[in-house]
Amino acid sequence: MTHIPDDVLSAWLEDELGEDQRARVEDHLEVCRGCRGELAALRGVIRRAREAPPEWAGKTASWSALETRLEGRRRPETTEGSNALARRSHQSRSSARWGWSAGGLAAAAIIAFMVFFPRSDPGTTAGFEVLLAADSQVAEEVETLLVRKQWEAPEVRHAIADGNRQIDEGMRALRKALEERPEDPILADLARRSTSHRVDLLREVTR
């Protein structure tokens, strides 16, 4: 007797088999206790996958770190610059005109950086969090372009190259800040999450 392979049993569970094959599987299951056992085991796998996840042991510690990041993002919300940034961010999400968005957001990132960072007191994360918010948007836009291969379009390549130049200026300013305050743990943590990834991406597509 030829037993039913697991992948066929799985397809039968999903009702994906043709009429003939489904009839053969069902006829076999009626007479084969072993295959019924295999089917039950397969159902067990699916049931366990759908159970609630185990508790994540690092949840509380991660919340503490997250709270710090959110605190930095909340503070600059009343400033004119961050409101402009939020509007820009909203525009980027609602607009289908992706051509300008990578360069535009790159510009938003650098403007936010230049506006907020010089005003930030030592140890104040608000300026950098604004930069990182913009950075996140830029990275998202650029990666979307990469995934969709849309960066081949000349106008997109031009916009990205323009953004690249501006971001380079921002990175130089960031490095300078780090030289002045190398021991600042908040600064170091923010820098770790800063623009290096986006710069890598932009360089990759404009090479």
Partner 1 sequence: MATNRVAPADVIGAQDRDPEAFRRVYFATADRIHRLARWLLGTADVDDVVQDIYVRAWDRLPELQEPAAFPGWLRQLALSVILRRRERERRRSGHEAPLAAAAREPQGGIAPGGLRLDLERAVARLPEKARQVFVLYDVEGHRHKEIADLLGISHHTSRSQLHRARALLKKFLTEEGS
Both tokens assigned to 81: 């610059």
| Residue number, 11 or 178, with CB nearest to partner 1 | 11
Q: Which of 18, 53, 154, 182 binds partner 1 (CB under 8 A)?
A: 53
Q: Do the beta carbons of residue 198 and residue 135 sit within 8 Å? A: yes
16 is a contact residue toward partner 1 (CB under 8 A):
yes
How many CB atoms neighbour CB 191 within 10 A?
A: 18
Q: Which of 3, 93, 165, 172 binds partner 1 (CB under 8 A)?
A: 93
Q: Can you give the three-state secondary structure of 70-121, one letter per residue?
A: HHHHHHHHHCHHHHHHHHHHHHHHHCCCHHHHHHHHHHHHHHHHHHHHHHCC
**With CB under 8 A, what is the number of residues at the site for partner 1?**
46
- Rounded to a whole number of angstroms, the minimum distance from the CB of residue 155 to partner 1 is 23
d(CA 189, CA 199): 18
189 is a contact residue toward partner 1 (CB under 8 A):
no
136 is a contact residue toward partner 1 (CB under 8 A):
yes
59 is a contact residue toward partner 1 (CB under 8 A):
yes
What string of DSSP letters covers 141-179?
A: HHHHHHHHTGGGSHHHHHHHHHHHHHHHHHHHHHHHHHH
- Name the residue among 102, 109, 105 with its Cα closest to residue 205: 102
- Rounded to a whole number of angstroms, the minimum distance from the CB of residue 164 to partner 1 is 17
1 is a contact residue toward partner 1 (CB under 8 A):
no
d(CA 91, CA 178): 32
Per CB under 8 A, the segment of 64-72, 97-105, 114-122, 149-157 that binds partner 1 is 64-72
10 is a contact residue toward partner 1 (CB under 8 A):
yes
Q: Do the beta carbons of residue 130 and residue 81 sit within 8 Å? A: yes
| Residue number, 65 or 122, with CB nearest to partner 1 | 65
45 is a contact residue toward partner 1 (CB under 8 A):
yes
Q: What is the binding site for partner 1 (CB under 8 A)?
A: 5-8, 10-11, 14, 16, 38, 41-42, 45-46, 48-59, 62-63, 65-67, 69-70, 73-74, 77, 89-90, 93, 133, 136, 140, 143, 146-147, 197, 204
